[in-house]
Structure 1
């Protein structure tokens, strides 16, 4: 039973898209990346409980289009097809799909991180132990049209970029900006395009005082204001930065606010604000990732759906129910991330 079923929707305070010109756009990090190629497909085929839970979460939310981040890519799209079949089995058909090879896990043959070795996960275009690791996928009820893939754009070519000044020339000559991908995918609504501008940024941590990952995370967001389509658009994905708490440079998010607006989706339930959460300053209802374990940074806002300023937002939410409920247990089993959805009125 999905969000658009009245009883459940009312219980969760997540109202459904109710009129014909309303479109529900979502993003979700379902934790569907594994330690090697083919392992995700194997888990899908054996109906792993975590995989089934992620499919159930998506079916419950009933998006018209959803971006998945942290989803392993394979050349023939077998994992994506298999996962879409599980979502359909759970009650939601998303027949239109796109997934391209991500930069994560794409070998370069160059020592990108300057540790004196090449060929490690840190030397791929984006961190990854194998080709296709932790990619992205877009699934939709509505047809997809043109895709513009900006993933080969070089970091050094971004005006005003924050690439560390001591980056070796051979690394700068090949280093792509996207740690995963940057896509502009046209979603067709009654034949008119709504552009979904999708990306999944590198975490702004796991580096040294040079803050290479933090700088790249910032620039992955700063890319979009100069590369907007001349049509309605929605920015969405895992920005991997909280505007208030945690590490990272919130200026990247702030740059997006010059072209989009933030509906600030809220969850229906918030975990106890103790431990790492106790020292945070942001509104916990806006958090989208559960990192409140013993050595974690606390719960943070990482996942976003940001419509263009001229689009009307009708409703928005984070699917974070009470973990003592059946749905809450499913959400918790599926992923540390929570699904974020926004209903917009398409012009």
Structure 2
């Protein structure tokens, strides 16, 4: 067959289909008690760091949002961790990790305890700037990032912010809100990434947790997208208000990723009403295991598969999953055209 005939055959057969794109999100427990300690642990091959890298390499995502990864100004820890993944045979050369709100002090007594400068007085809870920040690692190029993390909570339409004398300083994002544009063979894909505060520990947190999810309802791109990250909200067995999640599900779809194994539903889990196969966080105290981590692609996108990496005891990956984090990696495969 000559080249002209081959070209005609390709045109007549329609567009070439890209392989499914695997997206993942995970809190891998890659946060430490002080600045620089995560890089130290990566450099000295700490077993917990190695376990986290092994889980990611086994999941083989094309892009993964890490929702607990200490930020540093030069990105040295993220570069070192990406190098570790490459050594394990899963290179993710493109990355983003701008400064999060975690640990960024306001100079104010935000929690009203009379002691400014404490972790709860930062824009997002943290003992130092960047503690438990976010990071994206990707096989695909990153075309750009819109960072919404500096938006004030009071400026969100319909916000639930409690009355506060610090409304002109308090940001909405406890960690960050990023619109990350990936370049895929089928065109751009927007990852609407965030990690919300838990709806607990402080009186303002239930409202903030709700509004951090509700933020995306007013910032949806006119392009394929997926909401991704740590919503810190179980709609059935947690303490938060699932109204914002329900609203997001009017414009997205829930692939309902499921784990291969679940612990016995006894003890703290005995009173649960949600499907335990959907849980992504393991707790040995009330309220027990919860579904907190999500990937919600826009309606109209095709989900080929989805899962939670929660292997049964005795599985070759079980020890690494248990050592790395009490949270479990969530993934979905998108079939893009």
1:181 aligns with 2:148: no
1:82 aligns with 2:74: no
Question: Offset of 1:117 from its aligned partner?
Answer: 1.9
- Which residue is 1:24 aligned to? 22
In 2: Cα distance, 1:290 partner to 1:82 partner: 28
The Cα offsets for residues 274-324 of structure 1, whole Å up to 9 and x where unpaired, read as 111001110000000111x2x342010011010001111111000111122
- Which residue is 1:11 aligned to? none
2:326 to 309, 312, 336: 336
In 1: Cα distance, 2:55 partner to 2:239 partner: 28
1:194 aligns with 2:189: yes
In 2: Cα distance, 1:42 partner to 1:203 partner: 28
- Which residue is 2:155 aligned to? 157
TM-score (normalised: structure 2): 0.94
For structure 2, list consecutive stretches of 5 or more residues without a partner in the other structure. Answer: 1-16
In 2: Cα distance, 1:191 partner to 1:239 partner: 28
In 2: Cα distance, 1:232 partner to 1:21 partner: 16
In 2 relative to 1, CA 131–233 (structure 1 residues): closer, same or farther, beyond 3 Å? same
Question: Offset of 1:246 from its aligned partner?
Answer: 1.6
2:98 to 84, 97, 100: 100
Q: CA RMSD in A?
A: 1.0
Deviates more, 1:111-120 or 1:51-60: 111-120
Partner SS for 1:313: strand
Question: Offset of 1:191 from its aligned partner?
Answer: 7.0
In 1: Cα distance, 2:91 partner to 2:286 partner: 36
1:313 aligns with 2:292: no
- Which residue is 2:8 aligned to? none
2:241 to 225, 244, 249: 249
Question: Offset of 1:242 from its aligned partner?
Answer: 0.3
Partner SS for 2:253: coil
Question: Offset of 1:269 from its aligned partner?
Answer: 0.3
In 1: Cα distance, 2:181 partner to 2:53 partner: 24
In 1: Cα distance, 2:273 partner to 2:234 partner: 11
Partner SS for 2:34: coil
- Which residue is 2:115 aligned to? 117
Q: Is the 8 A contact 2:173 2:212 kept in 1?
A: yes
- Which residue is 2:134 aligned to? 136
Q: Is the 8 A contact 2:186 2:336 kept in 1?
A: no
In 2: Cα distance, 1:40 partner to 1:218 partner: 30
Q: Is the 8 A contact 1:142 1:188 kept in 2?
A: yes
1:41 to 36, 39, 42: 39
TM-score (normalised: structure 1): 0.91
2:205 to 209, 213, 227: 213
- Which residue is 1:325 aligned to? 315
For structure 1, list consecutive stretches of 5 or more residues without a partner in the other structure. Answer: 1-18
Q: Is the 8 A contact 1:323 1:332 kept in 2?
A: no
2:214 to 185, 198, 222: 222
In 2: Cα distance, 1:97 partner to 1:268 partner: 30
- Which residue is 2:261 aligned to? 269
Q: Is the 8 A contact 1:320 1:331 kept in 2?
A: yes
Partner SS for 1:24: strand
In 2 relative to 1, CA 324–296 (structure 1 residues): closer, same or farther, beyond 3 Å? farther
Partner SS for 2:317: helix
In 2 relative to 1, CA 326–263 (structure 1 residues): closer, same or farther, beyond 3 Å? same
